[in-house]
Amino acid sequence: MDILSRQKHIDIYRHLAFASVGGFFAGYAVLCRMGVLANAQTMNLVELVLNALTGHGANVLWHLGSFVVYVAGTMLTVLLPHFFHCDVHRLCPLISGLMAILLACLPEDMNAIVSLYPIFFAMSFQWSAFTGADGFYSSTIFSTNNTKQTSLALAEYLCDGDRTHLRKVRFYFFTLVCFHIGVTIAFFATKYFGIPASLLVMPQLIWCYVLVTCEERSPVLAIA
């Protein structure tokens, strides 16, 4: 029974593992590249518009490039399986690993936005490859919706006392915890190793790959 229970929750373990990876890349980007968050596009597109309005043409191009890279990462999660029958779940940690190696090789004094193109690509691919677990939709690369869902579920529990809401609270809360564990790892990694600290995400990515393969082989999840 314990083995079956663990198999049933492999998708949750996988989700939490990728959340820590998302947190690592978010922390790395902010700490190493002038406070830029490369996991999402909101700020990038705001700055693109502001630079266009203020006549900073070169900056517009850099932000436009990151937008194109992010869109490409998202689209490839659909195009690769369709045209080449790739398993994007297994491919995801491999791509993140390659991007981590590339990040470690980029010079510290290069344009901050351009230097984060690997993260824009890896995180968009991760977000589209994995959309949640255990029946919950959840991002592993940023915290806004996870915070919202935790708050809503807690409010619903306080209103009606239905303990089934606590399952949702736990899921989203621990997603937030694991994401910020990744941020914490990035803090100490960049503090001691600087730009090459991106390579320290490798153990997390290896664990993610192991969990992905276990999830695909799980007879419990296969039946579900």
Q: What is the DSSP letter of 196?
A: G
Residue 105 CB coordination number (10 Å): 11
Copy the structure tokens of residue 143: 């915290």
Q: Give how far Cα 180 sits from Cα of 69, 106, 110, 183, Å.
A: 25, 25, 27, 5
For the chain, the C-alpha Rg in angstroms (whole number) is 18
Q: Tens-digit pLDDT profile for the chain (224 aa)?
A: 454 455 568 999 999 999 999 999 999 999 999 999 999 999 999 999 999 999 999 999 999 999 999 999 999 999 999 999 999 999 999 999 999 999 999 999 999 999 999 999 999 999 999 999 999 999 999 999 999 999 999 999 999 999 999 999 999 999 999 999 999 999 999 999 999 999 999 999 999 999 999 999 876 544 33
Copy the structure tokens of residue 93: 């940690």
Residue 118 CB coordination number (10 Å): 25
- Which amino acid, residue 192? Y
Could you tell me the domains of the chain? Answer: 2-223 (1.20.1250)
- Which amino acid, residue 95? I
- pTM for the model: 0.93
